[in-house]
Amino acid sequence: MIIALDADLLSSGLGCLRYARQFARRRRPQPGPATMSRLYAVECTPSNTGAMADHRLPLRASEIETFTRTLALAVRGVPEAGAPLPYAAWLGALARDLLRHRGRSVAIPGDYQSPGVHLWAHVVNHALGNVGSTVIYTDPVEAEPVDQTASLRELVADMDAGRVEWLIILDGNPVYNSPADLAFGERLLKVPMRMHLSLYQDETSALCQWHIPEAHYLEAWSDTRALDGTASIVQPLIARSGCLRLSPKCQKRERRRSQHATRLPKGSNLSSGRTRPSSTADLPITAGCRNCQSLSPDSPGTTPRWLARPRPSGSA
């Protein structure tokens, strides 16, 4: 027993192929007691899930939350106050069908529905005893889920107040694509030591003393979590072109180069949110040397030879 609340679970979203296969498996008539599943769909736009539904109710997008709230109250035995809804008979039949399938049903809210729709869908699943049976909860992929914009504003405030001495930026290009009112580039220059780990030398790299080449995802180990919560390891597909260890000789050389100028590169324009170095001499230090295959070029602002792209044979 499935109720899709503006959720096209059979053709879009995470796990849609798995859901479609499982749904098709339960739609094959079998001898004996009835085993076929039943699908209800409430949606504002025609979808593949709605086309496959046994019962479909078209509603305006603004009415989905009201429908879900009324359904949650119905399965909990709480009457809805106010004037009867035009789809009250359809909703009543759905609620009675859900109550007959306690622990064997599921309410699925759409990915783009409001938090209210998701909240009431959770209420429906809890009221029907679906949690632990047809509904499971997994740990979020993000270790500490926070409001990313608010967290970035806190960082900018700390940088502006001089409370940040070291800043390591892992991937991303906040100088270019952070909100313009944060003036991230101007605040970034107030940090004494700035490092940028990235695949590219971009606007953020231009304002950092150190640019560390990031390993491509095809040459790096990682971890991931599947839709059902299963943790897994991602294995690199290709060998890395270098390592991250500096030889003692390179460490001594890089300590001397750590005094590289931290001035604003020539040709930069912070007011427009874009920073383009006028020459390679204005680029930050890039770590990498061929001898230890780690992170330090022969001179600041030059591309390590082991990162240089070979010239095609026969070219001028």
pLDDT tens readout for residues 25-37: 888 877 777 678 9
Residues 89 and 59 grouped into a single domain: yes
pTM: 0.61
Residues 264 and 197 grouped into a single domain: yes
Tell which of 59, 93, 127 closes a domain: 127
Q: Is 240 a member of any domain?
A: yes
Residues 34 and 122 grouped into a single domain: yes
Nearest to 107 by CA among 119, 93, 115: 119
Nearest to 60 by CA among 84, 42, 81, 34: 42
Q: Is 143 a member of any domain?
A: no
Residues 235 and 284 grouped into a single domain: yes
pLDDT at 93: 94
Q: Kindly give the parts of the chain with pLDDT less than 50.
A: 259, 261-265, 268-316
Residues 207 and 237 grouped into a single domain: yes
Q: Is 78 a member of any domain?
A: yes
What CA–CA distances, in Å, run from 260 to 203, 254, 283?
18, 10, 10
Q: Is 95 a member of any domain?
A: yes
Residues 78 and 25 grouped into a single domain: yes
pLDDT at 309: 40
pLDDT at 264: 46
pLDDT at 156: 95
The enclosing H or E element of 148 equals: helix 148-160
Residues 68 and 213 grouped into a single domain: no
pLDDT at 273: 41
Residues 219 and 261 grouped into a single domain: yes
What CA–CA distances, in Å, run from 141 to 39, 79, 118, 136, 227?
30, 38, 19, 15, 10
Q: Is 158 a member of any domain?
A: yes
Residues 216 and 281 grouped into a single domain: yes
pLDDT at 256: 65
Q: Is 210 a member of any domain?
A: yes
Q: What are the DSSP calls for 64-89, one per residue?
A: HHHHHHHHHHHHTTPPPPSSPPTTHH
Q: Which domain holds residue 253?
A: 148-307
Q: Is 316 a member of any domain?
A: no
Residues 93 and 161 grouped into a single domain: no
Q: How many domains are there within the chain?
A: 2
pLDDT at 254: 58
Residues 188 and 265 grouped into a single domain: yes
Nearest to 49 by CA among 69, 27, 67, 65: 27
Spatial contact of 215 and 207, defined as CB atoms under 8 Å apart: no
